[in-house]
């Protein structure tokens, strides 16, 4: 326990960095993923094409390369220095949004086509059909895959450690400089991640039980 209790300052800073990366990246991923997912099932061909290009291009690019672009190339294009934490959050959000979009698209496809057609027949436009008919039903079916995406996002936050962003992925190097055993530090990092993932699993069960009752 001394590995943690003797270095609470570093652990607190690293844990906070991981939480910021997760919450910030998750928020961007959910919002952008919802937009892209809707575009993927849109009746407008150009919207489907743009959504497809975005998903296939970003999803098939390694996260490390996406992070590299945001950390080094984007500041050069903007011509100014940008907070590394904000760049890492943006990279994680944009990358994870592709998986969110595909999870939502799969959930949308589980809703019977006849329901959407009936909604359009009574005069609802595409946005209203998605908001009032399709998404409320699709959301229930995408909870498990969506949580898997968020768990992957939680673990992917460690990639930012290679780009000067303090998080649980950097704690080993920091504590090694203070003379702590690297293996012991890594084992504690694993424990912290297991606890965080268990919390997400608990949230998944809560949401599933809530919406199961709502049916």
Q: Residue 169, Cβ neighbours under 10 Å: how many?
A: 21
CATH number of the CATH domain containing 106: 1.10.3720.10
Contact 11, 167 (CB under 8 A): no
Give the domain extent around 126: 10-170
Q: Residue 94: inside a domain, yes or no?
A: yes
CA distance 156 to 25: 10
Q: Residue 206: inside a domain, yes or no?
A: no
Each residue's pLDDT expressed in tens, for the chain with a length of 215 residues = 667 777 778 888 889 999 999 999 999 999 999 899 888 888 888 988 999 999 999 999 999 999 999 888 888 888 778 888 899 999 999 999 999 999 988 888 877 777 777 887 887 887 788 777 777 777 777 888 888 999 999 999 999 988 888 888 888 887 877 777 788 888 888 999 999 999 999 988 888 787 664 44
Q: Residue 155, Cβ neighbours under 10 Å: how many?
A: 15
Q: What angle do CA 199, 202, 206 make, to 5 degrees?
A: 140
Q: Residue 211: inside a domain, yes or no?
A: no
Q: Residue 152: inside a domain, yes or no?
A: yes
CA distance 23 to 8: 22
Q: Residue 164: inside a domain, yes or no?
A: yes
Q: Residue 154: inside a domain, yes or no?
A: yes
Q: Residue 27: inside a domain, yes or no?
A: yes
Q: Residue 52: inside a domain, yes or no?
A: yes
Say how many domains are in the chain.
1
């Amino acid at each position: 326990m001394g590995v943690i209790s003797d270095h609470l300052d570093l652990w607190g800073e690293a844990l906070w960095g991981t939480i910021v990366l997760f919450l910030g990246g998750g928020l961007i991923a959910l919002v952008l993923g919802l937009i892209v997912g809707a575009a993927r099932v849109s009746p407008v061909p150009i919207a489907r094409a743009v959504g497809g290009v975005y998903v296939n291009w970003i999803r098939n690019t390694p996260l490390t390369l996406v992070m590299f672009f945001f950390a080094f190339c984007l500041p050069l294009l903007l011509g100014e220095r940008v907070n590394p934490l904000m760049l890492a959050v943006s990279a994680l959000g944009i990358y994870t949004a592709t998986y969110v979009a595909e999870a939502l698209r799969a959930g949308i496809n589980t809703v019977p086509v006849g329901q959407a057609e009936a909604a359009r027949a009574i005069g609802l436009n595409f946005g209203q059909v998605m908001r009032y008919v399709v998404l409320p039903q699709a959301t229930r079916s995408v909870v498990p895959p969506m949580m898997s995406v968020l768990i992957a996002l939680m673990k992917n936050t460690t990639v930012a450690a290679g780009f000067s962003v303090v998080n649980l992925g950097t704690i080993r190097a920091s504590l090694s400089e203070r003379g702590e055993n690297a293996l012991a530090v890594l084992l504690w990092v694993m424990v912290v991640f297991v606890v965080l993932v268990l919390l997400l699993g608990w949230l998944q069960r809560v949401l599933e039980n809530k919406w199961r009752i709502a049916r």
